[in-house]
Structure 1
């Protein structure tokens, strides 16, 4: 498989997504439920797509969130939903749409403060911490397409075990969501966003502090600190960007955040093997900038 001529090189400006058009397409795009490529389709625990391709638009999120609410009722899950959001352009609008449906269904929703981001492990941790001490099970939604390109959106469901939903669960949610799409969203409950944000069921949650403090229960952070390793961390513009400084401060670690930029076009990335912008920490092309810094650190991380 031949690499793109610009693989590993900075992305030219004409390779960058037009964020304003992408967001407009999220609200204006009208997917056709009879077209297979326009339907909700769960992969690794979640649905991914792009508003440009008419497979990640507001109707998809309305239908999928309502399907999750219906699944919770069917399974007797009545604890809170912990919802995390990443830095992709479509994630913010999708999270707002989801909150409108959760609030209309009377579901307790725990979200980070406006403008803050939450990586998947922090959502999983919040679910498990809740379920250790409460009779009512919590679950979660993570609005992220993971390492996918900037024009993509993603919407994942984490059941009460905190991990990715298995195929039995995702099949249930996918089937229900597509029925709602085919019915013109009849059966979807929804509030206006301002009302959803003010709802008694919506709670601002601190995801960072418990997660950072909890690291000491699974890792020997004291030994790592005493080792004095020079570490570099590249969050790749992802949801972990606020977590690395907190980890460094909490455990007195020598961590440099080598890139603290949040940019929905991800213009700071080097192109992947196929000429696409993709935040893939397993790709030597996408990780070119961090690899170039290898002589400055004992160990380096490229985790979004």
Structure 2
């Protein structure tokens, strides 16, 4: 009897020395392939993998299982970013979907499988649930022949065409790029250099430090990039997570720029400089800065629970210009309805080139226009049973006073969110992928933000009176 497999907000992941093994990869690939074969017999399925040990071998195994269902399994000939997989699926009318073997932003000793459906997106909640229900307790014996193909080049060529290469080339940008040992290493520097950008790549080769880094483009994991920007005198440090669907950045002074400001800058660029319009989809944990910017740009915005699959479902309705989540995953559905951290980096370069301003200058202007706030997240590790108790109790929690403040609005959309009269807010939600409770807060001052975070931790621990 195989292990019970449950999907989080973006696929399934497990430790490489534990449940992420050949047997379970076969079971997951078999479940997805059985659904694809039933709904789209004979269709193409793309399979990719990242740079982690065993990722290529396990992706090849998954491809053979997919092919055993009579589908055409096309396996990448090298490691690729997840957006490359999405792009190829979305631009091939013969494709019904794909799967990516990747550890994404998780620690180096993890691997996982992400699914993509025919439009390149992660699929609906119903699709993921259907795959989960279809997982057989025993691994299938079905196998078939596979095609090994170049998935990277068509995507990278298309990526370069999406920005104004002449404007970027004239600007003479000098950047540090950090792929965090992930699957955009080498790929994105080649695109940037073809556009005339001078690139200093760090963490571009697996070394003894790789297993110490969590490839998530947030502090403290961006410290090396912050130092490199100052050492090289670059105008920005640009960062992707392990499979490059997320983006992070550092300004010319070596200061981390949070994802909310990056989203706001890119959205402003699309509207002001490119003349685009449409709705904006934001995750529940997004900053009030993103909402202020969307409002100032005349973009109607909608708030969804945490997890890009909810943003994807909104994108499917049409009329969406851009969607984004607090973790740095941004998507533009006219490209494909999923996150693309490489495209976001190119758009940031285009913005700096077109305005003649560094990233720090652009952030300072943004703060001046919409007002600066203080935003932070704390990850509280609890026992699984305590998290499940909290998950059960949160829908009924409605505190009358928190950190000396009276909430004006209470939402149980995804955990517990409390909003106050000065636009400060507090959010608690159990993670969908880890044994954590995530506590978020934003306020006009660091002091108030931290009081709210402390109160949120107390609520999570059941200690708030």
Q: Relative to structure 1, is the Cα distance of residues 96 and 205 closer, same or farther in structure 2, using a 3 angstrom cutoff?
A: closer
Residue 287 (structure 2) pairs with residue 287 (structure 1)? no
Alignment length, in residue pairs? 239
What residue in structure 2 maps to residue 119 of structure 1? 81
Structure 1 residue 262, shift from structure 2 partner? 2.4
Residue 22 (structure 2) pairs with residue 58 (structure 1)? yes
Q: Relative to structure 1, is the Cα distance of residues 232 and 156 closer, same or farther in structure 2, using a 3 angstrom cutoff?
A: same
Greater relative contact order (Cα < 8 A, sep 6+):
1
Return the alpha-carbon distance in structure 2 between the equivalents of residues 69 and 162 of structure 1: 16
Decide whether the 8 Å contact of 2:172 with 2:196 is kept in 1.
Answer: no
Q: Relative to structure 1, is the Cα distance of residues 60 and 39 closer, same or farther in structure 2, using a 3 angstrom cutoff?
A: same
Q: Give the secondary-structure state (helix, strand or coil) at the position aligned to 1:100.
A: helix
Decide whether the 8 Å contact of 2:45 with 2:74 is kept in 1.
Answer: yes
Taking structure 2 as the reference length, the TM-score comes to 0.48
Match of 2:156 among 208, 212, 232: 212
Return the alpha-carbon distance in structure 2 between the equivalents of residues 246 and 294 of structure 1: 19
Residue 231 (structure 2) pairs with residue 278 (structure 1)? no
What residue in structure 2 maps to residue 6 of structure 1? none
What residue in structure 1 maps to residue 206 of structure 2? 262
Residue 123 (structure 2) pairs with residue 174 (structure 1)? no
Gaps (5+ residues) in structure 1?
1-31, 272-276
Residues 174-231 of structure 1: CA distance to partner in whole angstroms, max 9, x if unpaired?
Answer: 1111xx12xx33xx2433xxxx5xx3xx222222221122124432232122111111
Taking structure 1 as the reference length, the TM-score comes to 0.72
Residues 221-260 of structure 1: CA distance to partner in whole angstroms, max 9, x if unpaired?
Answer: 3212211111111111111113123203432221221232
Q: Relative to structure 1, is the Cα distance of residues 51 and 254 closer, same or farther in structure 2, using a 3 angstrom cutoff?
A: closer
Q: Relative to structure 1, is the Cα distance of residues 258 and 45 closer, same or farther in structure 2, using a 3 angstrom cutoff?
A: closer
Return the alpha-carbon distance in structure 1 between the equivalents of residues 102 and 71 of structure 2: 21
Return the alpha-carbon distance in structure 1 between the equivalents of residues 41 and 102 of structure 2: 23
Residues 83-136 of structure 1: CA distance to partner in whole angstroms, max 9, x if unpaired?
Answer: 1100122422321220221232232122222xx2011110111111112xxxx3
What residue in structure 1 maps to residue 197 of structure 2? 253
Query: Which consecutive aligned stretches of 4+ in structure 1 deviate over 6 angstroms post-superposition?
Result: none
Question: If you compute each CA radius of gyration, which structure gives the higher value, 1 or 2?
Answer: 2
Structure 1 residue 268, shift from structure 2 partner? 4.2
Return the alpha-carbon distance in structure 2 between the equivalents of residues 97 and 171 of structure 1: 23
Match of 1:190 among 132, 139, 142: 142
Return the alpha-carbon distance in structure 2 between the equivalents of residues 105 and 236 of structure 1: 36
Residues 238-290 of structure 1: CA distance to partner in whole angstroms, max 9, x if unpaired?
Answer: 11113123203432221221232124xx6247x5xxxxx411102x1111111
Q: Report the structure, 1 or 2, having the larger strand content.
A: 2
Return the alpha-carbon distance in structure 2 between the equivalents of residues 249 and 138 of structure 1: 34
Q: Relative to structure 1, is the Cα distance of residues 294 and 249 closer, same or farther in structure 2, using a 3 angstrom cutoff?
A: closer
Decide whether the 8 Å contact of 1:117 with 1:239 is kept in 2.
Answer: yes
Residues 12-57 of structure 1: CA distance to partner in whole angstroms, max 9, x if unpaired?
Answer: xxxxxxxxxxxxxxxxxxxx54xxxx3211112311011434x322
Q: Give the secondary-structure state (helix, strand or coil) at the position aligned to 1:241.
A: coil
Q: Give the secondary-structure state (helix, strand or coil) at the position aligned to 1:204.
A: strand
Q: How does 1:60-139 map to 2 (within 5 A)?
A: 60-76=24-40, 78-113=42-77, 116-131=78-93, 136-139=94-97
What residue in structure 1 maps to residue 9 of structure 2? 44
Residue 107 (structure 2) pairs with residue 149 (structure 1)? yes
Residue 242 (structure 2) pairs with residue 298 (structure 1)? no
Return the alpha-carbon distance in structure 1 between the equivalents of residues 27 and 33 of structure 2: 10
CA RMSD of aligned residues (A): 2.0
Q: Relative to structure 1, is the Cα distance of residues 41 and 215 closer, same or farther in structure 2, using a 3 angstrom cutoff?
A: same
What residue in structure 2 maps to residue 21 of structure 1? none
Return the alpha-carbon distance in structure 1 between the equivalents of residues 166 and 237 of structure 2: 19
Return the alpha-carbon distance in structure 2 between the equivalents of residues 41 and 233 of structure 1: 34
Q: Give the secondary-structure state (helix, strand or coil) at the position aligned to 1:300.
A: strand
Gaps (5+ residues) in structure 2?
242-465
